Structure 1
Amino acid sequence: MASDSVKLYTAIYVALLVLAFSKFVFFEFPEYFTYGQAFAGTMVAAAIKSVLIVGYFQHLRWENKSLTYLMLLALGLAMLLMAAATYSIT
């Protein structure tokens, strides 16, 4: 059983390394990616990395669903506050 969890965490760690390296690839090879594509790819990679970190390294995957929904609610409210702050600065 312990061997399975080591394999899982190793695979997630390698995935995180590959996703982190993708930012370098997106921005250091402008002949293959426009700035918009590089930015979008970086945002997608960051979202995937966040899900992997929160789900596995912070063990949210094995928690009650109510805690997951509470975290999603907090994230949504934080996004609304940032959007409101953005428009209130002008």
Structure 2
Amino acid sequence: MSSVRTYTLIYVLLLTLGTAKFVFFELPFSYEFALTATIILAVIKSLLIAGWFQHLVDEPRSITYMMLVAVFMVFLLTIAAGFSIQ
């Protein structure tokens, strides 16, 4: 079980990453860079949330792999839906 210090550190990190996503679009960065950086930060935030706040860090690896397969399948369905809309 993680300590309160770990949860506080993760919370501050999530808050910092969320602020960074806002800053990328407000400072004079190119749109492509800001979008790419925002997607990367969103993936990092999702991994932090799934790992600590949903307690996947403490689970057996088989559950983590099952979650990764589920996320990959959702990604494939999103791509397929994008092609069907066009």
So what's the TM-score if we normalise by structure 2?
A: 0.93
Structure 1 residues without counterparts, runs of 5 or longer = none
Q: Which of 4, 23, 28 is residue 26 of structure 2 equivalent to?
A: 28
**Structure 1 segments of 4+ aligned residues over 4 angstroms from their partners:** none
**Structure possessing the higher radius of gyration over alpha carbons:** 1
How far apart are the structure 2 equivalents of 1:89 and 1:49?
Answer: 29
Shift of 1:84: 1.1
Q: Which of 14, 17, 32 is residue 15 of structure 2 equivalent to?
A: 17
Task: Give the alignment's Cα RMSD to 1 decimal.
Answer: 1.4
Of structures 1 and 2, the one scoring higher in RCO (CA 8 A, sep 6+) is 2
Percent identity of paired positions between Structure 1 and Structure 2: 52
Q: Which of 65, 71, 77 is residue 73 of structure 2 equivalent to?
A: 77
So what's the TM-score if we normalise by structure 1?
A: 0.89
| Matching residue of 2:84 | 88
Structure 2 residues without counterparts, runs of 5 or longer = none
